[in-house]
Chain A
Amino acid sequence: MSEDFPPSRIERSALLQQPTGAVPAPAAAGRPLPAARLRQCCDSGGLAFETTADLPDLAGLVGQERAVDAIRAGIGIRHKGFNVFAFGPAGAGKHTLIQQLLQAEAATAPTPPDWCYVNNFADPHRPRRLMLPTGRATALRDAMQRLVAELRLALPAAFEREDYRARREVIDQQIKHRQEEAFGALQHKAEQKGIALLRTPMGLALAPVRNGEVIPPDIFQRMAAEDRKRIAGDIETLQTELETIVRKIPDWEREHREAVRQLNRDTSSVVVKHLLETVRAAFTDLHEVVAYLGEVEHDILEHAEEFIAERREPGEGEAPPPDLASFRRYQVNLLVDNSGRKGAPIVYEDHPTHQNLVGRIEHLARFGALVTDFNLIVPGAFHRANGGYLVLDAQRLLAANFGWETLKRVLRAGEIRTVSLEQLLSLASTVSLDPEPIPLEVKVVLIGSPTLYYLLAELDPDFPELFKIAADFDDRVARSAETTGLYAQLIATAVRREKLCPLDRGAVARVIEEAARTSGDAAKLTAEIRGIIDLLQEADHIVEKAGRKIVGPADIEAAVEARRRRSDRIYRRFQEEIGRDTLRIETTGERVGQVNGLSVIALGSVSFGHPSRISAQVRLGKGEVIDIEREVALGGPIHSKGVLILSGFLGGRFGRSGPLSLTASLVFEQSYGGVEGDSASAAELFALLSALADAPVGQALAVTGSVDQHGHIQAIGGVNEKIEGFFDVCRARGLADGQGVLIPAANVQHLMLRQEVVDAAAAGRFAIIPIETIDQGIELLTGLPAGEPDATGGYAEGTINQRVAVRLAAFARRLAAIAAPPAERRPRRRTRGDDE
């Protein structure tokens, strides 16, 4: 401790007075910071524009060069597996940036071909894929539609011509005559013998008749035996002939059908060939299409009667004609139509389920059954993105039904296989379609959080193979004159994109200050641009309501305040309970073993600071510091670590010559939730030293900071919120002399305090004091010198360290006395510092 450091309590409050003067003083440890150091304002005078309308758009984001380079590399490398995983904080503009980069690249990339599915006439369950040059699939689809429409007119006309009817009549008469001849001859033969051919429920039967009626059995039995025998013999012979004829009928029918089919083929061939020639002429350069058209021709000729049947009304008992569904097999399912597209496609699939990625096979309900065909194959995101880029949200992909597994399978296979989940999981055994897979050439960009990226990298062995490019977005960017200018441009771009009222310079400066405040660092600006846009929109609403056209700094301030007000219910509840002394926080006076610590509570996107009473008790013991929070499982591991570190400091400073014979307990008073983090470890150490030294601590001060084993104060997070939390408590009670917060000197650079705190500091009514060591802090808190060790390791009388050492020595003596055999014990006079 330097000699010029004020050692007395009287001088302590004077120390806390804010230096005045226009020129900000440099930060000095142990002294209140000048107001200028509490908030790094953005000088609107340095912004060279009147309103954001004067600024050009910013292409990209500010300070994300690393991520941009990575994405560009990923886009550029065409080899397998060089897909991109872009990760960073939510709202950092990842989607927008990726979209911009992809659009720039896609614009100059070749336009991918069109893809269709057509019927596989050899195996309808395996639809064939057809790849056509860009824009030509539509022509094929339309040509096939026209073909079917024309065939439905031309073929029936061909079949209604007289020559066809005459030839058909000949064929029909042939079989009719054949049958009538055979049966007629049999019937005639039977009649000659007095036998009739009767129709029975079981089929045809032969029976002896007389006068057109069957001979009754009793009469038959009374007939002469030889007559009966003759009749039986005749019937037996006729029955054999009848059976022979009946057996021939299927062959005759088959021959008849074949003859009709051949006639139909001959009749339709001329029409079909002529009409198909027109279609073929447009696709002679595409061998696959020409081959397909050949199959179409063959199939139409084989099924020409379907075109005729649809024109005829069915008679009673006749099967209905084939409906339009039967012509569906000549349609072309245009899966991907890239006509009209310039460059490669960029597809963002926001619901990346298995089906939405690889497409699905839909079904139609017909007569109570579900049927499907190749026309019901619906493309997925991979189909649409083929030849270009597919952008997916990683979290949605992992949460979606089999999305992640499907993505990996497709990327590994390099082809899109449209298969239902039921088939994939072997849950369904019904016959469905198995479309020919489509070759895939796509670059996938996943967007997610860092947590997801690292989890996938660690847990999924396929991930590094498939996503070789990591684009890591920073959550904040360095604040400099250059980045401030770019940030202003970014604000201007967002204002235009969101169609908001322009901001004047002052408003932009205020937004930039808020961006620094959000980043938790005066020297940084948040990269989470979505929050900034929300703020702009809110300010725009205020301006619109006021009937103005330009957003000013007051509007931004009002928007910030409105946001804070909306979300500070819990914070206000804390403040209220402190004000009512339900939560006891002292902001004046002195207490031994009690320090105002500061903590931050984060609730969703809102975080706020508030003071907590940290108290310490010491007693005779075996050198342990009990963290009550840990004992009751309310303390997190980092907090416990902080307590152990301060124990280390205590042992290092005061236990060099012997074990510490104390037990100390530390607690966050009136804390009923968990405590985590080590930012209160300095405050806990101060409370402990105060208790050991029996030196009262000024309650006008609060403390935040972590401590190492050598007594150095280290930076903590949430410094602004913590300071403001204590400030609000003090202000509510009326600011009093000497109030302020001790912060780690390393946190000075992070200060972006609310203006009212800055104003109070400027007026000398609230002090922010950076400290670098425990000794600096304890002096400010107790008003007593900490004390430097002399050559013997002792401390000067009256210093904190000396008082601690004396107390610990007393503990040690007392413990030794207790531990000694009874005979050695001697009564002695109690001295100050002994444990009571």
Chain B
Amino acid sequence: MSEREIRRVVIACDVQDEIGPAVRKAAELAARCGVPVHGVFLQNENLRRLAGLPLGRPVSLSRTEPPQSFDTGELEKLFSVLAGAMRRALAAAAEEAGLDWSFAELRDVPSAAGALLAEGDMLVLEAGLGGFAGSWRPRSLWESVAGDLGGMVLLRRGEAAGRRRVVLVICAASADHARTVDAVRALAQPRDETTLLSAGAPEAEPDAALAPMLAMGGIRAAAIERAGSAAEIRERVAALDPRLVILETEALDAEALQALIAETRCDLLLIG
């Protein structure tokens, strides 16, 4: 495999994300792949609309005083400041890594981010697991839309403690594995153990096509398993407790995909 399937790393952030670390991680990934990095700052239209509504105010656990005011003016200022910060962080990270870079602001709802992607883009989204209160958290902005964006979307959750150094590749029989192989090469680390989980009918043999392709890319699959249903796939994910799941989204239907996104705590690369 000589030509790379990943041609650009796109990092998208909104006001909730920790922009600095997110940009640096994306730049590192781009450097590993040897591709340019593109930054997108999302001016979340939903927040703008919320700020314009004469309704309830945000509730924060950390504040004991009455709910804070949240108006459009403040939000616009915040958008402006954070967009500038992201641009500067991206420039610095790209310069340090010797990468070409570009930057854009997107004034839309999160689901519109998919429209920005070109062929060969890997979109990196921060979907940290930090709870709002205790262990409960409202669903991440990006988690809600990741399944619908198409292309290659990496949901970064951070490296939670206790994750085993396993990269689980869930492949669909009908998919073109070229991007998957390239993604494994880009994201797997030397100490990782790669497991293939082939989704298909219960009576079908595991899809063995991916293993030799990985081997050609220098990656040896430690195990090749088969999962006949979405439930089995989710069980295996829970049992293996991997640090990274690479999923060819054709392996699951939309509902199962959303459930998997909601359940997993590790990094998740969707290849649609």
Contact = CB atoms under 8 A, between A and B. Distances in A.
Contacts of A256: 134
Interface stretch (B30-38, B47-55, B188-196, B228-236): B47-55
A275 B69 CA distance: 57
Contacts of A179: 133-136
A201 interface: yes
Interface stretch (A68-76, A100-108, A208-216, A817-825): A208-216
Interface residues of B, number: 41
Contact of A205 (B16, B58, B62): B58
Interface string B124-147: 000000101111101011001000
Given A201-B16, A216-B49, A252 B55 contact: no
A239 B144 CA distance: 22
A461 interface: no
A220 B140 CA distance: 25
A318 B161 contact: yes
B59 interface: yes
B46 A204 contact: no
A236 interface: yes
A217 B49 contact: yes
B61 A207 contact: no
A216 B78 contact: no
A217 B52 contact: yes
Given A205-B56, A217-B53, A249-B134, A200 B161 contact: no
Contacts of A253: 134
Contacts of B50: 198, 200, 205, 207, 214
Nearest to A197: B138
A239 B161 contact: no
A203 B60 contact: yes
Contacts of A252: 134
Interface string A304-341: 00000000111111100000000000000000000000
B46 A176 contact: no
Contacts of B102: none
A203 B59 contact: yes
A316 B62 CA distance: 22
A317 B158 contact: yes
A264 B59 CA distance: 34
Interface in B61-95: 61-63, 67-68, 70, 78
A231 B45 CA distance: 20
Nearest to B129: A317
Nearest to B158: A316
A204 B59 contact: yes
Nearest to B50: A207
Given A176-B135, A249-B61, A253-B134, A201 B78 contact: yes
B52 A198 contact: no
A316 B55 CA distance: 37
A761 interface: no
B161 A220 contact: no
B162 interface: yes
B118 interface: no
A177 to B, nearest CB: 10
B136 A200 contact: no
Given A246-B61, A316-B159, A239 B136 contact: no
B15 interface: yes
Contact of B160 (A207, A212, A315): A315
B109 interface: yes
Contacts of B163: 315
Contacts of B107: none
B53 A239 contact: no
Contacts of B59: 203-205, 239, 242-243, 246
A182 B138 CA distance: 12
B17 to A, nearest CB: 11
A183 interface: yes
Contact of B15 (A201, A204, A207, A231): A201
Contacts of B54: 217, 232
A246 B54 CA distance: 22
A301 to B, nearest CB: 24
Contacts of A235: 55-56
A55 to B, nearest CB: 79
Interface in A237-268: 238-239, 242-243, 246, 249-250, 252-253, 256
Contact of A215 (B49, B58, B130, B159): B49
Given A198-B46, A207-B53, A246-B61, A213 B109 contact: yes
Given A312-B161, A317-B158, A199 B53 contact: no
A527 to B, nearest CB: 77
A469 B206 CA distance: 99
Interface string B189-227: 000000000000000000000000000000000000000
Given A249-B61, A314-B161, A207 B55 contact: yes
A256 B134 CA distance: 10
A384 to B, nearest CB: 48
Contacts of A312: 161-162
Given A182-B136, A252-B134, 9 more contacts: A198-B50, A200-B47, A203-B132, A206-B56, A207-B46, A214-B49, A239-B56, A246-B59, A315-B161
12 contacts: A179-B133, A203-B59, A205-B50, A205-B70, A216-B49, A216-B52, A239-B56, A243-B59, A243-B67, A249-B134, A313-B161, A318-B161
The 5 A-B pairs with the shortest beta carbon distances in the complex, nearest first, are A203-B60, A315-B161, A217-B52, A202-B58, A179-B136
